[in-house]
C-alpha cells in the first residue's frame, strides 16, 4: 500500500468518522492539510468562517442540532488561541467537538518560533483531552481516540495539536475506530439498588417535582423521560439548555427554572417533597442561594458524571448511569400515580406571573415594542417547528421564556459560559446541520457586533438563517443590573450602533428595520417568506427589563416582578 501524508491521513480519518462538514480557517502551519483538502472537497464540505471563534461556535451549533461531533480546523498561534472561548463554552455545555490546530514543526517546539504557542498547556483545563501529534504514523489513532472521547459519556471538546512535520510526513493508513481506553469509563454501569431507592422515594412523594436538563438531550432520552413523568404524574421545570427536551405544550411542563425562570416552578422547588434532577448540574443560575434551596426536599439525581453528584446540592438518592439506561429502569420501578391537587397548586403562581409580567410584556397597550411581543409573534409564525438560537443577554432570556419549541434538539444557546457573540455563528452551524428547518436567531445589538463578520460566511455559503436583532441601543442585561442594583449609573452600556440593515445588505442579505408595532407582523411574514438569509431589526424598549428575576445570591423566595 502506498504511503500517504499525515495531512491526507487526517482527512481519511475524518471520513471514516462520517464527518461531512468542517468549520475552519487556514494558515501557515495547517497549510499542508488544506492542500490535501483540495482533493476531498467532494466528500467533506468546508465552511470558511471569518474568524476562528466563529468557526468553533458554528461547529457547536452544528453538533447541538445534529447530535454529531463538530469539527474545527485552525492554524497555530493566534488561530489556535482564537478558539479557546469556544472550547471553554463547549466544555461547560458538554458539546462534542474535535478541534485540529496546526503547530510548528517538532524540531522548532519550544524555540518561540513564529506563531508558536503551547496550545496543549492552554487548552488542557478546558477540554476533555488535548494531544500533540508529532509523527504522521500517530494521526489515525489520535483521531479515533479524539472522536471516542469527545462523543462518549458526558461529551466535550478535544484538541489535536498537529505539528507541521507530521502533516507532511508519510505513513501507512489503517483506520480502526476507538471503543475502549484503559482507565476511561465514560458510561458508569447502572446499579439496581440505586434505581430501587430512587423509585421508592418517588413512590412515597406527595409533591414530586422534576428538573429537566441538557443531559436528557445528550443521551437521546427524551421519550424515556416523558414515559417516567407521565407514569408517575410528575410536573417538571427545565433549565435553559433543557428547553427542547419536552414539548412546550406538554401539560406537565411548568416552565423554565432559575434566575429568569417562571414563578411557579421556582416557587414549587421550595415546596416539593421530592426533587428529581435529570441530567442537570444545579448551576448557580438555577439554585441561587444554596443555603435556601429546596432544603425541605429529598433529592433524586440522575446523572452520568460522578463529579456532579452532590457537588452543589446533596443527592439523597443518586443514580449514576446513562439516562438512556437509568430512565427506563426507573419508569419500570415506579408506581403509576396521580398528583392532580399538587399540579393544580402551580396554577395560582402562573396566573400571578401572567398578570404581573406576561400580559404587560406580550400585550402592551402603548409605548415601544417589547422584546417579549416580538419574540412571541415570531414564535407563533414558526409554529413550534423552528430551531431557536440565541446570543447571550436579555434577548436570550426573553426568547427562552416566550419562543415555543416542540421538537427535540431545537435550542442552541450558550448556557454555562454565557458567551456574547455565540449566536450568529452558532446559527450558521445549526442551519448547516438542518438545512430543511427554519433557524431563528435572536441577538442583541451588543452580541451581534462581537462576531458580525460571520455575515460573510452566510453570504459565501448561502446559509438561510433568519436573524432577529432586538435593538435597544444598550448592553441590555448589564444595564438592567445597573438600574436595579447600581443606582442607574449607566457606565459603558449605552451603544451607538451602525445601520445594521445596510450592513446586512452589504453582505447580500435582505434586511428590514421595524420601530412601529403595526409593522411587526408584516415584517415577520416577509422574513419567513424569504428563501434566503434575512435580518429583521426590531427597535425595542431602550430600558425594558426581563422579569421575573431572582437577584444573584438571593433565595428563590425573593423573586422580583419589577
Active site residues per annotation? 52, 114-115, 164, 477
Alpha helices in 289-422, H assignment, sequence order? 323-333, 340-344, 347-353, 359-362, 371-382, 394-402
Write the CA distances from 197 to 116, 140, 236, 338, integer angstroms. Answer: 54, 44, 20, 20
* DSSP label of 494: B
Q: What is the Cα–Cα distance from 135 to 189, expressed in whole angstroms?
A: 36
Q: What is the rounded distance in angstroms from the CA atom of residue 311 to the CA atom of residue 119?
A: 29
Residue with cell 446559509: 463
Burial-class residue 170 by CB neighbours within 10 Å (0-12, 13-18, 19+). Answer: middle
501 vs 495: CA distance, rounded Å? 16
Q: Look-up: residue for cell 446541520? A: 433
3-state secondary structure of 318: strand
- Beta-carbon contacts of 202 under 8 Å, excluding residues fewer than 6 positions away, are 208, 232, 234, 274, 276, 300, 330, 334
If DSSP states are collapsed to H, E and C, what string results for 162-178? EEHHHHHCEECCCCCCC
Beta strand 4-5 with 157-163 is: unpaired
Alpha-carbon span 78 to 198, nearest angstrom: 49
Q: Please count the residues of the chain.
A: 562
Cα Rg of the chain, angstroms? 24
Cell for 157?
A: 471538546
Residue 210 sits at φ, ψ, to 5 deg, of -110, 145
For residue 100, list its beta bridge partners: 73, 160
Distance of CA 56 to the CA centre of its chain: 12
d(CA 99, CA 131): 11
Q: Answer for the pair 246, 313: CB distance below 8 angstroms, yes or no.
A: no
Which string of DSSP letters, residue by residue, matches 270-314?
TT-SEEEEES----HHHHSSGGGSSTTSEEEEEES-GGGTTSSS-
Strand partners, 466: 440, 534
Q: Are 82 and 74 in contact (CB under 8 A)?
A: yes
Rounded Cα gap, residues 402 and 141, in angstroms: 46
Give whole-number Cα distances, 338 to 200, 204, 206, 226, 297, in Å: 16, 12, 9, 15, 19
> Taking a C-beta distance cutoff of 8 angstroms, is the pair 259, 360 a contact?
no
94 neighbors 70 (Cβ within 8 angstroms): no
Amino acid at each position: 500500500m502506498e504511503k500517504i501524508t499525515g495531512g491526507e491521513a487526517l482527512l481519511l480519518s475524518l471520513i471514516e468518522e462520517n464527518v461531512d462538514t468542517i468549520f475552519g480557517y487556514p494558515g501557515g502551519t495547517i497549510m499542508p492539510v488544506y492542500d490535501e483538502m483540495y482533493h476531498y472537497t467532494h466528500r467533506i464540505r468546508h465552511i470558511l468562517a471569518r474568524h476562528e471563534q466563529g468557526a468553533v461556535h458554528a461547529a457547536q451549533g452544528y453538533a447541538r442540532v445534529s447530535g454529531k461531533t463538530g469539527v474545527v480546523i485552525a492554524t497555530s498561534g493566534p488561530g489556535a488561541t482564537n478558539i479557546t472561548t469556544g472550547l471553554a463554552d463547549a466544555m461547560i455545555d458538554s458539546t462534542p467537538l474535535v478541534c485540529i490546530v496546526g503547530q510548528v514543526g517538532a524540531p522548532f517546539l519550544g524555540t518561540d518560533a513564529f506563531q508558536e504557542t503551547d496550545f496543549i498547556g492552554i487548552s488542557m483545563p478546558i477540554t476533555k483531552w488535548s494531544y500533540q501529534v508529532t509523527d504522521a504514523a500517530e494521526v489515525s489513532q489520535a483521531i479515533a481516540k479524539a472522536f471516542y472521547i469527545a462523543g462518549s459519556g458526558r461529551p466535550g471538546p478535544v484538541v489535536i495539536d498537529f505539528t507541521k512535520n507530521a502533516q507532511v510526513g508519510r505513513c501507512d493508513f489503517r483506520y480502526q475506530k476507538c471503543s475502549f481506553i484503559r482507565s476511561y469509563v465514560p458510561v458508569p454501569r447502572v446499579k439496581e439498588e440505586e434505581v430501587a431507592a430512587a423509585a421508592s422515594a418517588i413512590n412515597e412523594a406527595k409533591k414530586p417535582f422534576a428538573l429537566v436538563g441538557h443531559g436528557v438531550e445528550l443521551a437521546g432520552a427524551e421519550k424515556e423521560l416523558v414515559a417516567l413523568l407521565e407514569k408517575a404524574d410528575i410536573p417538571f421545570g427545565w433549565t435553559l439548555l433543557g428547553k427542547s427536551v419536552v414539548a412546550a405544550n406538554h401539560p406537565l411542563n411548568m416552565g423554565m427554572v432559575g434566575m429568569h425562570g417562571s414563578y411557579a416552578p421556582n416557587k414549587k422547588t421550595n415546596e416539593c417533597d421530592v426533587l428529581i434532577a435529570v441530567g442537570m448540574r444545579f448551576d448557580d443560575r438555577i439554585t441561587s442561594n444554596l443555603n435556601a434551596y429546596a432544603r425541605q426536599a429529598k433529592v433524586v439525581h440522575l446523572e452520568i458524571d460522578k463529579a456532579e453528584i452532590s457537588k452543589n446540592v446533596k443527592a439523597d438518592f443518586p443514580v449514576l448511569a446513562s439516562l438512556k439506561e437509568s430512565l427506563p429502569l426507573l419508569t419500570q420501578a415506579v408506581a403509576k400515580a396521580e398528583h392532580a391537587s399538587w399540579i393544580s397548586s402551580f396554577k395560582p403562581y402562573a396566573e400571578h406571573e401572567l398578570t404581573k409580567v406576561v400580559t404587560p410584556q406580550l400585550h402592551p397597550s402603548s409605548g415601544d415594542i417589547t422584546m417579549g411581543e416580538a419574540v412571541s409573534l415570531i414564535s407563533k409564525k414558526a409554529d413550534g417547528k423552528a430551531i431557536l438560537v440565541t446570543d447571550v443577554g436579555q434577548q436570550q432570556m426573553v426568547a427562552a421564556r416566550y419562543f415555543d419549541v416542540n421538537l427535540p434538539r431545537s435550542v442552541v444557546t450558550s448556557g454555562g459560559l454565557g458567551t456574547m457573540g455565540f449566536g450568529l455563528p452558532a446559527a450558521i452551524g445549526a442551519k448547516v446541520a438542518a438545512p430543511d428547518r427554519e433557524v431563528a436567531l435572536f441577538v442583541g445589538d451588543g452580541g451581534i457586533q462581537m462576531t458580525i463578520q460571520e455575515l460573510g460566511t452566510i453570504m459565501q455559503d448561502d446559509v438561510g438563517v433568519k436573524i432577529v436583532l432586538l435593538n435597544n441601543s444598550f448592553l441590555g442585561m448589564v444595564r438592567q443590573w445597573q438600574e436595579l442594583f447600581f443606582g442607574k449609573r449607566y457606565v459603558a452600556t449605552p451603544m451607538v450602533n451602525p445601520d445594521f440593515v445596510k450592513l446586512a445588505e452589504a453582505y447580500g442579505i435582505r434586511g428590514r428595520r421595524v420601530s412601529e408595532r403595526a409593522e411587526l407582523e408584516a415584517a415577520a411574514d416577509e422574513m419567513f417568506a424569504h428563501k434566503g438569509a434575512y435580518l429583521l431589526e426590531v427597535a425595542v424598549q431602550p430600558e425594558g427589563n426581563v422579569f421575573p428575576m431572582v437577584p444573584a445570591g438571593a433565595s428563590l423566595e425573593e423573586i422580583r416582578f419589577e
